[in-house]
Amino acid sequence: MNIIFIGARGAGKSKVSRSLSKQTDFPVVSTDSIAVYEAGGIPIPSFVEKFDWKKFRELEYSILEKLKDADGIILDCGGGILFDLDEAGNEVPSQRKLDLLRRIGRIVYLERDLEELIEKVKGDSTRPDLSKVASYRSILEKRLPIYQEAAHFKLNLSKLSKEEAAERVLDWLGIKSK
């Protein structure tokens, strides 16, 4: 069994993944870390600047393809994992990625309030700039319903610690922590 975390930038996917890993001994696999590795060590913001978002979304798909037979992992997905770009360069929901994610494991949507998400990512130079595409607020308004539809389980982190969130996921899955 695999546990997959989806959600917006700054939702807490990486922190909850690491906390859950400590409680289960499942290794954390980060789609963003694999993307950097697959791109020859190029950080994601540089990759997107050098190539474009469409190429990055294709890279994400190829990563999911490689993980489709994985077992016993916690998959920490980048915020745009459920999306592709259409011919005009607009972000659209990706059925092909969702199908792969559902094949890989149980999808947990980690959510936070919109304003909280916006505050958390302001000035974060480690993440690619989305402002060239649209404001982060407008991106979130389009993405949040897609995350909800994709998830098997939804967990609002606004009032939970990462440890409490990990415990709730374990309870939902019926897994005892080590």
Residue with the larger pLDDT of the pair 48 and 128: 48
Asked whether the predicted pLDDT for residue 131 surpasses 70, the reply is no
Binding residues: 10-15, 32, 57, 79, 127, 143
Q: Are 108 and 3 in contact (CB under 8 A)?
A: yes
pLDDT at 2: 97
Domain span holding position 37:
3-173
d(CA 50, CA 39): 11
pLDDT for position 56: 95
Give the E-state strand segments of 41-175 in sequence order. Answer: 74-76, 83-85, 91-93, 106-111, 153-156
Q: What is the mean pLDDT of residues 74-81?
A: 97
Quote the CA–CA distance of 48 and 45 in Å, as a whole number: 5
Question: Considering the domain boundaries, does residue 178 fall inside one?
Answer: no
Residues making up the binding site for Mg(2+): 14
pLDDT confidence bin for 120, thresholds 50/70/90: confident
CB–CB of 80/91 below 8 Å?
A: yes
Closest CA to 113 of 14, 3, 7: 7
Quote the CA–CA distance of 85 and 104 in Å, as a whole number.
22
CA distance 148 to 144: 6
Q: What is the CATH number of the domain that holds 108?
A: 3.40.50.300
Q: What is the pTM of this model?
A: 0.91
Residue 68 maps to a domain: yes
141 inside domain? yes
Res 61: pLDDT: 98
* Within-domain flag for 52: yes
Can you say which residues are annotated as belonging to the binding site for substrate?
Answer: 32, 57, 79, 143
Q: What confidence score (pLDDT) does residue 50 get?
A: 93
Number of domains, the chain? 1
Residues of each annotated binding site for ATP = 10-15, 127
User: Which range (50-64, 80-94, 103-117, 125-139) has the least confidence?
Assistant: 125-139
